[in-house]
A = this chain, B = another copy of it.
Amino acid sequence: MIDNVILGILMEGPQTGYGLKSIIEQSVGFFYSASYGSLYPALKRLAEQGAISLLESDGSKNKKLYALEPSGRERFLEWLGEPLTRSRNEHLLKFFFYDYLAEPLRGERLAGFHAVLREELGRLAAVKQIVDKETEELENPENYRFRLSVLTYGFRYLEMAERWLGDLRSKETGKHHHAGQGPAAEENKDE
């Protein structure tokens, strides 16, 4: 996975490992993250395979600029052309079992997550505004259609999640029965 992210970012021009990391955080950080522990070994590997190459020309000695080679570009485009698949949404796993979580904590967690969603929604909205403005000044915005649409996706996704959580929490209101046993519980039918 990280190989393709690296190659994809190098499509726009040479970068250092450190630079790649910060670009990843800024651009696809919403749904993907990389650590140096995977980044640097990946760069080494890709260079050995000839997919990327080390540029010497830079002034600094401690900086390594990598550039995309034709074989790397080919490899990236091949990956890109494979059929799309949905990936796992592991955070739903916890929700699935949430009937088992006892009540004071459960409500807190839901509220906390709700806050996170709203915060991210706000941040994404800000980013979207900036990006949309920058896009206007571009001569060929058509070339960025998918990049932009991923932003839209992120936005709609958060909206959907926020709404869903809102609905879920509003059903809860005022019902402070002591839950906590969940599906398997045949006992405690009081209240």
Footprint of B on A, CB under 8 Å?
1, 4-5, 8, 11-13, 27-28, 30-33, 76-77, 80-81, 83-102, 105, 109-110, 112-113, 116, 120, 139-140, 142-147, 149-150, 152-154, 156-157, 160-161, 163-164, 168, 171, 177, 179, 181-185, 189
Using A96-B28, A100-B80 as known contacts, say yes or no to A90 and B1 having CB atoms under 8 A apart. Answer: yes
CB atoms of B183 and A93 under 8 A apart: no
What are the residues of chain B within 8 A of A100 when measuring CB–CB? 8, 11, 76-77, 80
The residue from B4, B12, B32, B95 contacting A88, defined by CB atoms under 8 A apart = B32
What are the residues of chain B within 8 A of A168 when measuring CB–CB? 145-146, 149
CB atoms of B12 and A150 under 8 A apart: no
What are the residues of chain B within 8 A of A156 when measuring CB–CB? 160, 163-164
Identical chains in the assembly: 2
Instruction: A156 to B160: give the CA distance in the assembly, Å.
Output: 7
CB atoms of B87 and A91 under 8 A apart: yes
Q: How far in angstroms is the closest Cβ of chain B from A166?
A: 12
What are the residues of chain B within 8 A of A179 when measuring CB–CB? 143
What are the residues of chain B within 8 A of A150 when measuring CB–CB? 92, 95-96
Closest chain B residue to A5 by CB distance? B93
What are the residues of chain B within 8 A of A144 when measuring CB–CB? 99, 183
The residue from B11, B76, B90, B97 contacting A8, defined by CB atoms under 8 A apart = B97
Instruction: A182 to B110: give the CA distance in the assembly, Å.
Output: 41
What are the residues of chain B within 8 A of A86 when measuring CB–CB? 91, 116, 120
CB atoms of A171 and B183 under 8 A apart: no
CB atoms of A89 and B31 under 8 A apart: yes
Q: How far in angstroms is the closest Cβ of chain B from A88?
A: 5
